Amino acid sequence: MSRNKGKREITYALAGAHENAGHSLGVNSLVYSSSSKTLFSAGRDGVVASWGPTEDHFNSQDRQLDEYDTQYNTFEDIDNFVKQNSNNENEILSLEYNIRKGLDSLPADSQSNYQLKTSMAIHTNWINDIKLLKDNVTLATCSSDLMVKLYNAKAQTVHTLGHHDDYVKSLALGHNLVSGGLDKKVNVWDIQKSSVVSSYHHSGDRGSVYALDAKNDIIISGGPDNLVKLFDARDMKRPVRSFVGHHDNVRSLALKNNYFLSGSSDSTIKLWCLRTNRILRNFDTHNSSVISLYADGGNEERFDSFYSGDTSGCLLKTDLLNCNYDMADELGSNATFFHNKMNENLGITTLVSQMPNSECGVLSIAVGDNRVWTSSAGKSKSVQGKDNCFISSWSIPLTNKLVLYQGIKFSKNMALLKKNENEIESIDGNGDELFDLVSQLSHDTKGYDHLKNIDGILVEDSSFLTYFLSSSGGASSEFILDAASSPSISDDDDETNLLSVKNRKNKLEILYETFPPNSIRLVPFNEYPINEIIGYNGLIKARLLNDRRHVMTMDSAGKIRLWDIIQCKALDTTYECSSDDEFDIIIQQHQTFETLPIWCKVQVMSGKLFISLSESAFINTEIYADEVLKNYPDCHYKPTEEEDESLRFNIGKVVLKSLLHDFVKYELAEDAKFRETKKGLPQPRKPRTTSVASEVSLPKSDAEEKTKKRNFFSRQKSNDISTPTPANVTSTSLASQSTNGARRDSEESITDTKSLITSIRNRYESFESTSLVSAPDSEVPYLNLPEQLTLLITESTGNSRVEIFQTALGLRKNDPSLYGKLEDFLPDWVGNAILLNKYPTRDLVKVGFVLLPDPDDKDLPEAKGAATRLTAYNMLRVKKILGFIVERFDPAVSEGKRPEEWLQISCKGELLPLTMTLSTVKARIWKNSGDVELVYRIKREKEA
């Protein structure tokens, strides 16, 4: 699989204690499968989870509902009832009686709480939307990691369709899957071919796509340009039509065959007709941005009802069963202002629930199991005050009888209009008479100041409660809670008290007068949810410490934790904080004085900690072997008695080997199988180019090693410290053997490890021995890492990176076939490192310094030569410099003592620890671009 793609990086994600326990950070999208009674959720942690009721807890009790709530469920049912009973006083009285008995709710199919069934990390960033495909098993997902994927919930498998160039915000499912994002693109996908079959790229600065919906080949999109654009999926060259009406971002959409709904940051919902291209209804029922819409799929032609959610946490249900959408079309020239005015106010809007503690509002809505589900994120609290309440289910109010009653009233009003048509059309003057007629027929509360003589209805300094809203905004005075069963609330009561009115019954009163809006208070139909699904805290920020081995993180609850990113686990060190300043203070408490170069990129995404290694930086940092043994006693490395104290290990090499140790064993075994099948066959023709095996860095001779170990210092040839110094290799790096030759041979073809392995096998001169060379543990030790660690390969695309492969360490051990897949995606620079022991060349950073005797130390022996300007590798320790100084003294001076036993070094008067490096001395103490001045003297008795 040779592909000339962008630069690839290898990334590993550290698992938290709550892995596979649900969601962290919040849930952006919900979908319910009625066939399997399963709720699917997609979160900001990149996880798709499934939830279901426990077995043997399905509702076997038939709750008695009155006939008005069960028998009239379509527009035709309502229309027939109204036509037959507009003048049937007995039926109207029966309907009023049932309304006064109270509002009922749909009985849930299952009585148990929903529990987690499966959970799987699909993306590395927020999942913004999911859609359930027609097989009721496969979910399409889109994410801020730019990817669009398919997830089979039954088989627990993931397939990548492709990617956008920026965050993918929304999905829609018509004849094809459609995706849209901040790259301003609407893409139509062929799922079978995993390719984009057509696409539209919006122009302008405000062309991002926030919302999508699709039906068959019709696609609608909305975004920050305030427009809703309609497309034909068969021809995406340009929009078929644009709909103008909103005054702010379009955040949510729902599409039927002939109509669609749009929700906006201007807090309105608009109902549009695709036949006439005009707004039929404007719902001003929210007070904040409308960010979610849900419409039942039962009626493909029209919206019988819909749910809407906003950023303040309000969930509304709007029932339009009695609404004739386009009365103007039906009546033609006979339609009058009165017809349309009254029809605009048909429908019942109910405040189903309110989450006053929701930080992000109602992000998604789904209906299933005769309940409505909502999701939220951030610091969302449950009704009982629990943190991380990300999913809730609520009882669905049955408003059919209210719709019937409203339809009867509308029919009577229409008859009245028809009877007095001529008289009504002759009304003129200041409009008071016209307002009285329309407002009392439609219960529109606008302009209530015109109302006069409301006698005995309101008690002074009191308010009444209702679940219902007027389509023009504010509480509706059409139906209120029975005063005998619902206490009046004064203006002094705060919102929390309003939402926690206890022992409230659902009995209703029908009002025949219009009340001033400020006399009616809204309360939610549901005081408490049926079910709450609580999540856990995810990471929100991280900082790499100066030792480049530890990372400090903070989660969404303010808990701070220290991580070791070499052994890939969280340490026991934890703190609690409430601000960024406290986080910075705690970090400073754990910072080391020594600052090492950066070898990796650390970032927090989807509530997890991600560590990325790139070809250009992963070999930047070394630590001494004694530190490795002290901090990682379980590492696979056995020191010898004559171990060189200057031995250092490269952090990036250690991590890379630890991550892929089992992969290397797999490749060695596969190489042995390959060579075994070739034995006995004619020897391969000797290639004209240098063999890969000959380019491998071989161990140096003892003489070379001893020479290298002594050669820590070099004298500068002039006093100009800016003169370039030839680069040397470290004591453990084999990078001095250039890999450029092999790269030139196959620069165009080798971009992944599979191509590299093929090239190695094609270059074999003999099948008796392998050309694969894994670094020995004495040179690059490794650690056993947690199996739940996730490994990812990412690739650059433009200014972004996309994931091209993902697996877990534990899964690879159980399924070796994944190693073969890993070959296809693992970058060639990783293959060169772990299979050929070849690493990128690196220019060593050197520090210039001067060794000066302490002028006040009269007992200091005379050194050979004058003060010398030297340069040395920046990781050289003070202890090694002491040894160099002693070598300049007469051998008899030391009297068999180690240098550190009788000598010491200071810089700017500060005594230097033996383990401090030149890099730290220059950065932390000298703080100057010139040569570092190191002063040495004999230890005083109290210091010895």
The CB density around residue 101, as the number of other CB atoms within 10 Å, is: 15
Task: Quote the pLDDT of residue 173.
Answer: 96
Tens of pLDDT along 3-46?
445 799 999 999 766 666 789 999 999 999 999 999 999 999 99
Range picked from 111-120, 202-211, 893-902 for highest mean pLDDT? 202-211
Tens of pLDDT along 67-78?
888 888 888 888
- Select from 675, 672, 673, 617 the least CA-distant residue to 650: 617
Reduce the secondary structure of 744-762 to three states and give it as a string: HHHCCCCCEHHHHHHHHHH
Give the CA distances from residue 292 to residues 129, 255, 264, 364, 748, in Å, rounded to whole numbers and listed in that order. 11, 13, 9, 6, 49
Give the CA distances from residue 98 to residues 410, 549, 836, in Å, rounded to whole numbers and listed in that order. 19, 70, 82
The sign of the CA dihedral 240, 245, 248, 253 is negative
Tens of pLDDT along 681-695?
666 555 444 333 333
Tens of pLDDT along 539-550?
999 999 999 999
Tell me the Ramachandran region of residue 909: left when phi exceeds 0, alpha when psi lies from -120 to 50, beta otherwise: left
Task: Quote the pLDDT of residue 747.
Answer: 47
The CB density around residue 678, as the number of other CB atoms within 10 Å, is: 15
Which is more confidently placed, 516 or 126? Answer: 126
Half-sphere exposure of 252 (CA within 13 A, CB side): 30
Tens of pLDDT along 86-107?
889 999 999 999 999 888 888 8
Task: Quote the pLDDT of residue 107.
Answer: 82
Q: Is 244 exposed, middle or buried (0-12, 13-18, 19+ CB in 10 A)?
A: exposed
pTM of the model: 0.84
- Select from 572, 541, 534, 573 the least CA-distant residue to 556: 541
Q: Is 673 exposed, middle or buried (0-12, 13-18, 19+ CB in 10 A)?
A: exposed
Task: Quote the pLDDT of residue 330.
Answer: 53
Q: Which of 225-234, 515-524, 597-606, 926-935 has the lowest mean pLDDT?
A: 515-524
Quick one: tokens of 570?
């969280």
Element at 70 (helix H, strand E): helix 67-70
Query: What letter represents residue 511's amino acid?
Result: L
Q: Which of 60-64, 422-426, 759-763 has the lowest mean pLDDT?
A: 422-426
Task: Quote the pLDDT of residue 788.
Answer: 82
Range picked from 393-397, 442-446, 510-514 for highest mean pLDDT? 393-397
pLDDT at residue 434 greater than cutoff 70: no
The CB density around residue 704, as the number of other CB atoms within 10 Å, is: 10
Reduce the secondary structure of 469-482 to three states and give it as a string: ECCCCCECCCEEEC
Residue 63 pLDDT grade (very low, low, confident, very high; cuts 50, 70, 90) = low
Tell me the Ramachandran region of residue 388: left when phi exceeds 0, alpha when psi lies from -120 to 50, beta otherwise: left
Q: What is the mean pLDDT of residues 619-635?
A: 93
Task: Quote the pLDDT of residue 862.
Answer: 85
Tens of pLDDT along 526-538?
988 988 999 999 9
Tens of pLDDT along 340-359?
666 677 899 999 999 866 77
DSSP H helices, 333-491, are 337-344, 400-419, 421-425, 432-442
The CB density around residue 943, as the number of other CB atoms within 10 Å, is: 9
Task: Quote the pLDDT of residue 739.
Answer: 39
Per domain, the residue ranges of the chain are 1-18+589-676+769-842, 19-54+113-325+344-399, 846-938
- Determine the length of the chain: 944
Element at 243 (helix H, strand E): strand 241-243
Task: Quote the pLDDT of residue 421.
Answer: 58
Task: Quote the pLDDT of residue 814.
Answer: 65
Task: Quote the pLDDT of residue 320.
Answer: 92
List Cβ neighbours of 706 (8 Å cut-off, separation of 6 or more).
none
Task: Quote the pLDDT of residue 387.
Answer: 81
Task: Quote the pLDDT of residue 691.
Answer: 37
Which is more confidently placed, 476 or 242? Answer: 242
pLDDT at residue 329 greater than cutoff 60: no
What is the distance between the alpha carbons of residues 837 and 656, in angstroms, rounded to a whole number? 12
As a whole-number percent, the residues of the chain with pLDDT over 90 amount to 56
Quick one: tokens of 265?
């940051």
Q: Which of 323-327, 337-341, 533-537 has the lowest mean pLDDT?
A: 337-341
Task: Quote the pLDDT of residue 730.
Answer: 32
Query: What letter represents residue 799's amino acid?
Result: N
Tens of pLDDT along 821-838?
899 999 999 999 999 999
Half-sphere exposure of 922 (CA within 13 A, CB side): 22
Cα dihedral 201, 206, 212, 217, rounded to 10, equals: -40
Q: How high is the mean pLDDT of the chain?
A: 82
Element at 521 (helix H, strand E): strand 520-522
DSSP H helices, 226-336, are 327-331
Q: Are 389 and 380 in contact (CB under 8 A)?
A: yes
Quick one: tokens of 275?
């036949």
Q: Which of 23-32, 241-250, 488-497 has the lowest mean pLDDT?
A: 488-497
- Select from 662, 808, 821 the least CA-distant residue to 11: 808
Task: Quote the pLDDT of residue 18.
Answer: 65
- Select from 334, 333, 254 the least CA-distant residue to 296: 254
Residue 500 pLDDT grade (very low, low, confident, very high; cuts 50, 70, 90) = very low
Task: Quote the pLDDT of residue 343.
Answer: 67
Q: What is the DSSP string of 713-778?
A: EEE-SSS-TTS-------SS--TTS--HHHHHHHTTT--BHHHHHHHHHHT-S-SSS----PPPTT
Q: Are 535 and 380 in contact (CB under 8 A)?
A: no
What is the distance between the alpha carbons of residues 19 and 32, in angstroms, rounded to a whole number? 23
Give the CA distances from residue 472 to residues 307, 341, 812, in Å, rounded to whole numbers and listed in that order. 17, 11, 59
Q: What is the mean pLDDT of residues 216-239?
A: 96
Tens of pLDDT along 835-845?
999 999 888 89
- Select from 624, 641, 635, 833 the least CA-distant residue to 730: 624
Task: Quote the pLDDT of residue 819.
Answer: 87
List Cβ neighbours of 83 (8 Å cut-off, separation of 6 or more).
411
Q: Are 577 and 628 in contact (CB under 8 A)?
A: no
Q: Are 435 and 391 in contact (CB under 8 A)?
A: no
As a whole-number percent, the residues of the chain with pLDDT over 70 amount to 78
Query: What letter represents residue 488's amino acid?
Result: S
Q: What is the DSSP string of 785-798?
A: PPTT-EEEEEEEET
Task: Quote the pLDDT of residue 504.
Answer: 45
Q: What is the mean pLDDT of residues 287-305?
A: 91
Q: Are 509 and 468 in contact (CB under 8 A)?
A: no
Q: What is the CATH number of domain 846-938?
A: 3.10.20.90
What is the distance between the alpha carbons of residues 347 and 170, in angstroms, rounded to a whole number? 29
List Cβ neighbours of 898 (8 Å cut-off, separation of 6 or more).
none
Element at 835 (helix H, strand E): helix 828-836
Element at 694 (helix H, strand E): helix 692-695
Q: Are 821 and 739 in contact (CB under 8 A)?
A: no
Q: CATH second-level architecture of 19-54+113-325+344-399? A: 7 Propeller (2.130)
Radius of gyration of the chain (CA): 37
Residue 569 pLDDT grade (very low, low, confident, very high; cuts 50, 70, 90) = very high
Element at 712 (helix H, strand E): none
Strands 869-873 and 846-853: antiparallel
Task: Quote the pLDDT of residue 174.
Answer: 95
